[in-house]
Structure 1
Amino acid sequence: MTIKQVMETLDAELLTPEADLTREVHAACGSDMMSDVLAYVKDQAVLVTGLNNPQVVRTADMMDMICIVFVRGKKPDGAILQLAVDRGIAVLATKLPMFAACGLLYEKGLRGGMA
């Protein structure tokens, strides 16, 4: 699934216009606890979260994730977005709750998994 397909599936807004929407994501992780994300260790993944702080981008970067989706209508501030741009991470925002967003991605064939 591409980042563009994730965006369309979640009816999400692209917050980093310079992002390459053709990049493939191979897995997803939904969590507001960054310690759980650190245990996830999947690259080329999308992080679905409601946590809105710079640590989300730093964690996604450490785990080689290429896309972050903020749920429940949350939008990060400019500093967080710039951090993501600097690290080549696409950022999306959807009004969906996390459960629904993860369910839609699963329905479209995107899977998760632990290390």
Structure 2
Amino acid sequence: MTVRDVKEILGAQVISGEEFLNREAQTGCGSDMMSDVLAFVEEQCVLLTGLCNLQVIRTAEMMDVVCIVFVRGKRPDEAMIELANEREIPLLCTGHRMFTACGLLYQNGLRGGTSN
């Protein structure tokens, strides 16, 4: 599934990183706890979160996340957008709640990866 597919499935708005919409995602993860992301996320993952701080971008970079989707209409601030642009991480925003957004992506073929 590409980032563009994620955008279309969730009816999401691209905040930044439009040029990276053709990136392939292999798995998805929904979490507001970046410690869980560090522990369980696999490479080439779509990260769905309602957490809006710089740590989200830093964690995404460390874990080779292909894009970040902010749920519940949350929007990153300018510092987050700037850091994501520097790190070439696309940012998307959807009005869906996390459970719904994860379910829609799962229903369309994106899986959560292996369980530990």
TM above 0.5, one fold? yes
The answer to whether the 8 Å contact 1:84/1:90 transfers is yes
Alpha-carbon deviations, 1:11-68, whole Å to 9, x = none? 0000004431111011001000000000124111110000000000100110011100
Amino acid in the other structure paired with 1:92: L
Amino acid in the other structure paired with 1:34: M
Which residue number in structure 1 is paired with residue 19 of structure 2? Answer: 19
Of 62-71 and 17-26, the range deviating more from structure 2:
17-26
Which residue number in structure 2 is paired with residue 89 of structure 1? Answer: 89
Equivalences, count: 115
The answer to whether the 8 Å contact 1:14/1:92 transfers is yes
Of 29-38 and 15-24, the range deviating more from structure 2:
15-24
Unaligned runs of 5+ in 1: none
Taking a change above 3 Å as real, the CA distance of residues 77 and 46 of structure 1, as seen in their structure-2 partners, is: same
Percentage identity across paired residues of the two chains: 58
Normalised TM-score (structure 2): 0.95
**How many Å separate the matches in 1 of 2:57 and 2:66?**
10
Normalised TM-score (structure 1): 0.96
Unaligned runs of 5+ in 2: none
Which aligned pairs between 1:46-57 and structure 2 lie closer than 5 A?
46-57=46-57
Amino acid in the other structure paired with 1:7: K
2:19 is paired with a residue whose SS is coil
**How many Å separate the matches in 1 of 2:96 and 2:66?**
20
Amino acid in the other structure paired with 2:69: V
1:19 is paired with a residue whose SS is helix
The answer to whether the 8 Å contact 1:44/1:64 transfers is yes
Which residue number in structure 1 is paired with residue 4 of structure 2? Answer: 4
Runs of 4+ in 1 over 4 A off after TM superposition: none
Question: Given the alignment of the two structures, is residue 38 of structure 1 paired with residue 38 of structure 2, yes or no?
Answer: yes
The answer to whether the 8 Å contact 1:51/1:70 transfers is yes
